[in-house]
Structure 1
Amino acid sequence: MDKFDQHIIEILRTNARTPVSDIAKAVNLSRSAVTARIKKLEQTQVIVGYRAEISVGTPEDEQPMICAYLALKFDTSSGTHQCADYARSLEDIQGVQWCHGISGETDLILYVAVPTMARLREIRDTIQTYPHLRQLVTHTVINEFFNHLTQKEG
């Protein structure tokens, strides 16, 4: 990856919808060269996707977003439980944003963002049906002071 690729990535991180012609001007390459570089960055998995950031709490949105961390602990005495299997099934639950396997007494930690407490309760109810689940603890987010994982324009 050279300085041109790095500059292209920087531009796309700021705004993934930047037109190729604007990127080409900024990096001083032709549009076709920039298009080829972006395609190569995607094929080599340097760029793994694009996303839309959704505004929460807009006037059309009466309900604020409810965010919580769920800590899951499984009974490992049977020897058949695999966190990766549970993680795959959790990925299909709408509202579960990410799932990490962690060290310590907790096996998995999830980050959930949903529009209502009722939806959070539905997610908890679904997870509580998982075999070998020993404990499910919910930590509701009260304040977010900063978040370096999401990039906001401003």
Structure 2
Amino acid sequence: MNDTDRQILALLRDNSRISVTEIAKKVRISRTTAQKRIESMELEGIISGYTIRIKPGVEKNRIRAWMSVAVEGAKASAIVQQLRGEPAVHSLHTTNGKWDLLVELRADNLEIFDQILGRIRRIEGIYNTETSIMLSTRKA
């Protein structure tokens, strides 16, 4: 990857729907070159997909939370597999420090959220959790 590729990635991160023509114009390369560089980064796995970001607050009555998870011994990979099968898990990250995993959870209401917490806390190998409900988002 070179500086041109990094410029293209920055533009795509900012707006994944930007046209190849607009990318070429902003990076000052030909449209064909821009298209080939994007395709190359896709083939190499540098670009693994495109997505959208939803404005915070659009999904009404949606509870979002971060759960920090401490894992017993070497059970992290088994726990990750189980968490990947939980529909309420929106994202899952391994971390270092006091907590082994950071899990983003989503639920429609507090009753369902409480059930989700109970299911996750009963997973064998999880010995401690700490959950914080997201109240507001300042930047998206």
The interval holding the TM-score normalised by the smaller chain is: 0.7 to 0.9
For structure 1, the 5+ residue unaligned runs are none
Q: 1:31 to 1:123 in 2, by over 3 A?
A: same
The answer to whether the 8 Å contact 2:63/2:108 transfers is yes
RMSD in angstroms over aligned alpha carbons?
Answer: 2.5
Give identity over the alignment, percent: 22
**Corresponding position: 1:66 with 2:63:** yes
Count matched residues.
Answer: 139
Matched, 1:94 2:78: no
Deviations 1:32-74 (A, max 9, x none): 221110011122232232211112323xx442x3222223334
Among 108, 119, 128, which residue is 1:115 paired with?
A: 108
Q: Distance in 2 between matches of 1:89 and 1:114?
A: 18
Q: Which residue of 1 aligns with 2:23?
A: 23
Gaps of 5+ in 2: none
Q: If the length of structure 1 is used for normalisation, what is the TM-score? A: 0.72
**Are the structure 2 counterparts of residues 134 and 37 from structure 1 closer, same or farther at C-alpha, using a change threshold of 3 Å?**
same
- Describe the SS at the equivalent of 2:6: helix
**Deviations 1:72-131 (CA, angstroms, capped at 9, x unpaired):** 33444xxxx520121122123233222324333x44332223332233223212213312
Question: Following superposition of structure 1 onto structure 2, how do residues 1-154 of structure 1 map, counting pairs within 5 Å?
Answer: 1-58=1-58, 61-63=59-61, 65-76=62-73, 81-96=74-89, 97-104=91-98, 106-144=99-137, 146=138, 152=140
Q: Counterpart amino acid of 2:84?
A: E
C-alpha contact 1:98 1:112 (8 A) present in aligned 2: no
User: Residues 26 and 132 (structure 1 numbering): CA distance in 2 closer, same or farther, change over 3 Å?
Assistant: closer
Q: Higher helix share goes to which structure?
A: 2
